[in-house]
Amino acid sequence: MQVEDLEKVSLALQENAKDFIEKGLSYIIEDELKDYKYSLLHIFSGTLLFLKDVLYKEHWSFLFQDIDKAKKSDLLENKIISVNFTTLLFRLENLSDVKLEKELKDDLQWMQKERNKIEHFYNPINHHEVRSRIASLLGNLISFINDLHKSDPDFDFDNDYDYRHKYQSLFEVLQKYSLMFETYIEKRSLRIKKDLEACDLVIHCPLCKQKTLEIKIDDGLTICHFCLSEHTTDMFYDKYNHISLDPEFYMDDSNKCPKCWSNKLYENTYEVICFYCFERYEHSELSNCYRCDTLIHESLSGYCESCWEDIMSD
Ligand SMILES: [Zn+2]
Ligand SMILES: [Zn+2]
Ligand SMILES: [Zn+2]
């Protein structure tokens, strides 16, 4: 296979990626609720094609799900079983020099879940959630493209000062739409600002990612003012607490709330909340006791109270 043939595959991937993403975004901007599902399917496919191209530029065989069966001739004849979502992310993270940020990975995984729901189940779409998550995706894709050159060992600032030109048309689409989405988010945020100011406890919503989820402690309810999702506090805890299994976080059952000793802790990227006494903690305020590993809050010594007393009385 010639160099120009390889180039052709890449161009086709890039072109299709851009077309799918643009089409999907335009559906959302038109705001026809019934089209949201097509929009998600298009944006998901387009984003995967783009990421496949990034992988393809690392090595053409990475496009095959089974690298052992990779044949250049199959590529050109479209006889390829191409890499699936999980493998694609794995290869981007482990076989390429590209840096896949956690935020982008989160957005991609969210989109894959939504896609599966659309294809397999009845799924009422929450359009506020979709808009907010897609806005986040656009921002993260823009940073990803911006950062691509940093991972390229052949990158030559003098001769190739704008690496983005490789994805220029996609980049322009992302930028154009991200402005429209930002406007939407600003408008919506402005509308709910007053309501939020009156709330006692507001955390980040796991669905739309905005810091707009009110915990109404007395009513036992959680309500997101941005995406309007509503749960009882117990339902919310049961449904979203699994996020704490993310290896990057450290809350597990052995950790207890420093204030009330309940182990009903909920953790996200920004905060830890006890769903028993509803104390909210910043990650930076929490640590584990050096001696007994108990979770402690703003301890200067690094020890829990009882270990500290033991040490001082020795
Ligand atoms: Zn929300
Ligand atoms: Zn507590
Ligand atoms: Zn201790």
Last residue of a domain, one of 190, 225, 257: 190
Query: Ligand 1 centroid vs 205 CA: distance in angstroms?
Result: 5
The pLDDT of residue 130: 93
The pLDDT of residue 314: 76
Domain span holding position 281: 199-285
Note whether 241 and 174 are same-domain residues: no
Query: Which ligand approaches the C-alpha of residue 263 most closely?
Result: 2
Which residues have CB less than 5 Å away from ligand 2 (the ion)? 257, 259-260, 262, 274, 276-277, 279
The pLDDT of residue 76: 81
Note whether 164 and 262 are same-domain residues: no
Query: Ligand 2 centroid vs 265 CA: distance in angstroms?
Result: 8
Note whether 224 and 117 are same-domain residues: no
Note whether 150 and 185 are same-domain residues: yes
Query: Ligand 3 centroid vs 275 CA: distance in angstroms?
Result: 23
Query: Which ligand approaches the C-alpha of residue 277 most closely?
Result: 2
Note whether 211 and 160 are same-domain residues: no
Closest to 274 measured CA to CA, from 288, 257, 292: 257
Query: Ligand 3 centroid vs 288 CA: distance in angstroms?
Result: 8
Query: Ligand 1 centroid vs 64 CA: distance in angstroms?
Result: 37
Query: Which ligand approaches the C-alpha of residue 126 most closely?
Result: 1
- Per-residue pLDDT tens, the chain, 314 aa: give them: 566 777 888 888 999 999 999 999 999 988 888 899 999 999 999 999 999 999 998 888 999 999 998 888 888 887 888 999 999 999 999 988 888 888 899 999 999 999 998 888 777 888 899 999 999 999 999 889 888 766 666 655 555 445 556 788 898 899 899 988 888 888 889 989 999 999 989 999 988 889 999 999 999 999 999 988 899 999 999 988 865 445 555 566 678 999 999 989 998 888 999 999 999 999 999 999 999 999 999 888 899 999 999 998 87
Query: Ligand 1 centroid vs 251 CA: distance in angstroms?
Result: 23
Taking a C-beta distance cutoff of 8 angstroms, is the pair 268, 204 a contact? yes
Last residue of a domain, one of 132, 162, 190: 190
Beta strands in 80-126 (DSSP E): none
CB-based contacts of 21-27 (< 8 A; 24+ apart in sequence): 21/46, 21/47, 21/50, 21/170, 21/173, 21/174, 22/46, 22/173, 22/177, 25/134, 25/138, 25/173, 25/177
Q: How many domains does the structure of the chain reveal?
A: 2
Taking a C-beta distance cutoff of 8 angstroms, is the pair 229, 236 a contact? no
Note whether 59 and 134 are same-domain residues: yes
The pLDDT of residue 161: 44
